[in-house]
Amino acid sequence: MADIKTPPGTAVDEPGRAADRRPGQPFPEAGLRRTRTRATAGSGRMATLLVSPTLLVLSVVVLYPTIMALKESLYGTKGLDPKTGFIRTTEPFVGLRNYTGIFGAAGDRFWNAFWNTTFFTVVTVGLETLIGVAMALIMHKAFRGRALVRAGILVPWAVPTAISALLWRWIFNSNGIANAVIGHQILWTTEGFHAKVAVIIAEVWKTAPFIGLLVLAGLQVIPKEVYEAARIDGASALGQFWHITLPLVKPALLVAVLFRCLDALRMFDLPYILVGAQKNSVETLSMLAQNEASNVRFGPASAYAVLLFLYVLLIALAFVRVLGADLVGDGGATGRSAGRRRRRITALRRAEVTA
Amino acid sequence: MKTRTTRALQCSATLVAAGLLVTACGSSGGSGSGEPAASTSFQGRGPITYVAGKDTSGVVPKVIDRWNTLHPKEKVTFIQLPTDADSQRQQMIQNAETKSDAYTVLSLDVVWTSEFAAHQWIDRLPEKQFPLQNMLKPVVETAKYRGNLYAAPASSDGGVLYYRTDLLKKAGVTKPPATWSEMTADCAKVKKLPEAEGMSCYAGQFQKYEGLTVNFAEAVNSAGGVVTDANGKPDVDTPEAQKGLDFLAGSFKDGAIPKEAITYQEEDGRQAFQSGKLIFLRNWPYVYALAEKSKVAGRFAAAPLPGLSGPGSSSLGGHNLALSSFARNKATALDFMKFFSSEDSASTFLKDASLAPPYADLYDDASLVKQYPYLPVLKQSILRAVPRPRVVQYGDVTSAIQQEAYAALTGSKSSAQALKDLQSELQKSTAQ
- pLDDT tens-digit profile of A59-103? 999 999 999 999 999 999 888 888 888 988 888 999 899 999 888
Q: Which residues contact B273 (CB under 8 A, 6 or more apart)?
A: B162, B203, B281, B283, B287, B291, B296, B300
Who has greater pLDDT, A351 or A79?
Answer: A79
The answer to whether residues B338 and B130 touch, using CB atoms and an 8 Å cutoff, is yes
Q: Are B20 and A64 in contact (CB < 8 Å)?
A: yes
Distance (Å, whole) CA B286 – CA B284: 6
Q: Which of residues 5-44 of B touch A (CB under 8 A)?
A: 5, 8-9, 12, 15-16, 19-20, 23, 30-31, 33-34, 36
- Count the neighbouring beta carbons within 10 Å of the beta carbon of residue B279: 25
Do B120 and A86 make contact, defined as CB atoms within 8 angstroms? Answer: yes
pLDDT at A7: 42
Q: Which residue has the higher pLDDT, A41 or B198?
A: B198
Task: Give the one of A64, A187, A276 whose C-beta lies nearest to B259's C-beta.
Answer: A187
Confidence of residue A149 (pLDDT cuts 50, 70, 90): confident
Cα B137 to chain centroid, rounded = 16
DSSP codes, B131-180: -GGGB-HHHHHTTEETTEE--EEEEEEE-EEEEEHHHHHHTT--S--SBH
DSSP run (H or E) holding B106: strand B105-109
Helix axes B59-70, B330-340, angle to 10 degrees: 130
B263:A190 CB<8 A: yes
Same domain as A304, residue A157: yes
Predicted confidence (pLDDT) per residue in A26-36, tens digit: 444 444 455 55
**Has residue A166 got a pLDDT over 70?**
yes
**Residue of chain B nearest A83, judged by CA positions:** B146
Q: What is the pTM of this model?
A: 0.81
Taking the CA of residue A141 and the nearest CA in chain B, the distance in Å comes to 44
What range does the domain containing A138 cover?
107-354
DSSP 8-state secondary structure symbol assigned to residue B85:
H
Q: What is the pLDDT of residue B251?
A: 96
Measured at the CA of A332, the angle between CA A330 and CA A336, to 5 degrees, comes to 155
User: Residue B209 and residue A189: Cβ atoms within 8 Å?
Assistant: no
Nearest alpha carbon to residue B157 among B348, B388, B309, B314: B314
* pLDDT value at A153 more than 90: no
ipTM of the complex: 0.81
- Are B367 and B85 a contacting pair, CB within 8 Å? no
Q: Which CATH superfamily is domain B40-157+317-383 in?
A: Periplasmic binding protein-like II (3.40.190.10)
* Spatial CB neighbours of A328, under 8 Å, sequence gap ≥ 6: none
For residues A312-317, average pLDDT: 92
Least-confidence region, from A41-50, A317-326, B7-16: B7-16
Same domain as A36, residue A136: no
Question: How many angstroms separate the CA atoms of A32 and A16, rounded?
Answer: 13
Mean pLDDT value across residues A6-34: 45
User: Per residue in A248-276, pLDDT tens?
Assistant: 999 899 999 999 999 999 999 999 999 99
Q: Would you say the CATH fold of B160-315+390-431 matches that of B40-157+317-383?
A: yes
Q: By the 8 A CB rule, do B150 and B116 touch? A: yes
Mean pLDDT of A171-192: 92
B395 touches chain A (CB under 8 A): yes
Contact predicate A102/A307, CB 8 Å: yes
Alpha carbon of B34: minimum distance to chain A alpha carbons (Å)? 7
Examine the domain organization and report whether A189 and A262 are in the same domain: yes
pLDDT number for residue B232:
82
Q: Phi and psi of A238, rounded to 5°?
A: -65, -40
- Spans in chain B with pLDDT lower than 70: 1-40, 432
Asked if residue A227 belongs to a domain, the reply is yes
User: The domain B160-315+390-431 belongs to what CATH superfamily?
Assistant: Periplasmic binding protein-like II (3.40.190.10)
Residue of A309, A269, A310, A274 lying closest to A290 (CA atoms): A269
State chain A's mean pLDDT as an integer.
82
Interface test with A, best of B21, B33, B91, B119 (most A CBs within 10 A): B119
Q: How confident is the model at residue A16 (pLDDT cuts 50, 70, 90)?
A: very low
Residue A350 has pLDDT above 90, yes or no: no
Same domain, A249 and A331: yes
Q: Residue B420 carries which DSSP code? A: H
Same domain assignment for residues A10 and A113: no
The answer, yes or no, to whether residue A346 has pLDDT greater than 70, is no
Whether residue B174 lies within 8 A of chain A, CB to CB, comes out as: no
- CA nearest A67 in B: which residue? B20
Do residues A130 and A37 both lie within one domain? no
3-state secondary structure of B302: strand
Domains of chain B, by residue range, sit at 40-157+317-383, 160-315+390-431
pLDDT value of position A38: 55
Nearest Cα of chain A lies from the Cα of B407 at a distance, in angstroms, of: 9
Question: Would A274 be classed as within a structural domain?
Answer: yes
- Look at chain A and report how many structural domains it folds into: 2
B2 and chain A: CB distance < 8 Å anywhere? Answer: yes
Residue A99 inside a domain? The answer is no
Any CB–CB contact under 8 A between B262 and chain A?
Answer: yes
